[in-house]
């Protein structure tokens, strides 16, 4: 398997305060751990680009995008909700974050490699059609999935999300669109509390996990709920909201997953659920304990390779 790793320096423009959990050190911690394990040189390294407006507007309303540009501060920072800090460079970073994902998608579609991990920030899966929330402005995964459908003409796109928080934005944007199968696991009840219920969506499979759930519960639930649905759907491409805040050391959630669970996920998604070897695009979401994040991403990539 050929595996690409995407980054861009532009995430530094989203200069959140040192005490904000979503900060630039997250990407640096991932890179450092990959280097320390000699995984770094086994990856194909590529840079993202800035997203173009038509890609953003497949997932978000024009009014919302214009409003974000209007409220972006010239100095200091503002909060667009109780968690989501916006600085003078946040939208530039968010556009590069989304654009790194679509650039990786295009390269995957052109068979330049078989899998890609986009180490990007700000993350995206809480951003709804017209609402920024939970550290997210543009929904990187939904933007990539809609481009995969509209530009690359994939007809069956699986969107997997194993972040500890439900990807409300992704469901808001892609819910009830039969081109997409949405598979989500998350702590419940927990942020974002809206809890997008399976019964309201024809293309959503939820795996809610109680606070304290660990490896055995998580793996059994994924195998029972996700795998039959994936097999039945037969995706032509798989896009993953790869969030690592379910780790037992993570301060932002209360699940008890381990480094090895992320290796298991990497292997499961890339090998066991993918007999036809379709392209896989994994996009970073959460993960806020720097050591656990670096190790978990490394294990995920290790399991995939």
Please report, as ranges, the residues that interact with Zn ion according to CB under 5 A: 163-165, 243, 245, 286
Residue number, 55 or 163, with CB nearest to Zn ion: 163
Cα–Cα distance for residue pair 165/195, rounded to 1 Å: 10
Catalytic residues: 126
Residue number, 29 or 39, with CB nearest to Zn ion: 29
The two tokens of residue 40 are: 């770094």
In the complex, least distance from residue 163 CB atom to Zn ion, rounded to whole angstroms: 4
Tally Cβ neighbours within 10 Å of residue 120.
27
The residue sitting closest to Zn ion, measured at its beta carbon, is 286
Q: What is the DSSP code (8-state) at residue 93? A: H
Tally Cβ neighbours within 10 Å of residue 11.
25
The alpha-carbon radius of gyration of the chain (Å, integer) is: 17
Residue ranges of E strands in the chain: 3-7, 44-47, 78-79, 85-86, 115-118, 157-161, 180-187, 204-209, 237-242, 280-284
In the complex, least distance from residue 28 CB atom to Zn ion, rounded to whole angstroms: 19
Cα–Cα distance for residue pair 39/31, rounded to 1 Å: 10
Tally Cβ neighbours within 10 Å of residue 175.
16
Residue number, 247 or 295, with CB nearest to Zn ion: 247
In the complex, least distance from residue 193 CB atom to Zn ion, rounded to whole angstroms: 13
Residue number, 12 or 191, with CB nearest to Zn ion: 191
In the complex, least distance from residue 241 CB atom to Zn ion, rounded to whole angstroms: 9
In the complex, least distance from residue 121 CB atom to Zn ion, rounded to whole angstroms: 12
- Indicate the Cα dihedral angle 191, 188, 59, 296, nearest 10°: 90
Of 127, 129, 136, 109, the residue nearest 14 (C-alpha) = 136
Q: With the C-alpha atoms ordered 265, 266, 272, 276, is the resulting torsion angle positive or negative? A: positive
Residue number, 163 or 172, with CB nearest to Zn ion: 163
Q: What is the DSSP code (8-state) at residue 128? A: B
Residue number, 126 or 225, with CB nearest to Zn ion: 126
In the complex, least distance from residue 243 CB atom to Zn ion, rounded to whole angstroms: 5
């Amino acid at each position: 398997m050929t595996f690409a790793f995407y980054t861009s320096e532009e995430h530094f423009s989203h200069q959140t305060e040192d005490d904000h959990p979503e900060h630039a050190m997250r990407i640096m911690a991932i890179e450092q751990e990959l280097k320390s394990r000699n995984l770094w040189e086994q990856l194909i390294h590529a840079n993202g680009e800035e997203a173009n407006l038509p890609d953003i507007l497949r997932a978000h309303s024009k009014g919302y995008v214009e409003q974000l540009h209007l409220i972006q501060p010239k100095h200091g920072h503002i909060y667009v909700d109780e968690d989501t800090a916006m600085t003078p460079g946040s939208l530039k970073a968010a556009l590069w974050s989304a654009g790194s994902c679509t650039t990786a998608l295009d390269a995957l579609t052109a068979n330049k490699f078989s899998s890609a991990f986009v180490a990007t920030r700000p993350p995206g899966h809480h951003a709804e059609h017209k609402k920024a929330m939970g550290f997210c402005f543009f929904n990187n995964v939904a933007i990539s999935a809609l481009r995969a459908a509209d530009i690359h003409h994939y007809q069956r796109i699986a969107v997997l999300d194993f972040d500890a928080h439900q990807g409300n934005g992704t469901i808001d944007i892609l819910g009830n669109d039969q081109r997409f199968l949405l598979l989500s696991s998350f702590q419940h009840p927990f942020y974002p509390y809206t809890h997008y219920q399976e019964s309201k969506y024809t293309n959503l499979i939820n795996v809610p996990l109680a606070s304290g759930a660990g490896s055995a519960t998580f793996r059994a639930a994924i195998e029972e709920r996700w795998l039959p649905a994936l097999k039945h759907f037969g995706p032509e491409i798989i896009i993953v909201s790869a969030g690592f805040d379910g780790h037992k050391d993570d301060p932002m959630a209360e699940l008890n997953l381990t480094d090895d669970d992320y290796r298991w996920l990497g292997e499961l998604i890339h090998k066991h659920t993918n007999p036809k070897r379709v392209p896989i695009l994994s996009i970073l979401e959460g993960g806020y304990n720097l050591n656990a994040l670096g190790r978990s991403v490394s294990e995920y990539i290790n399991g995939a390779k």
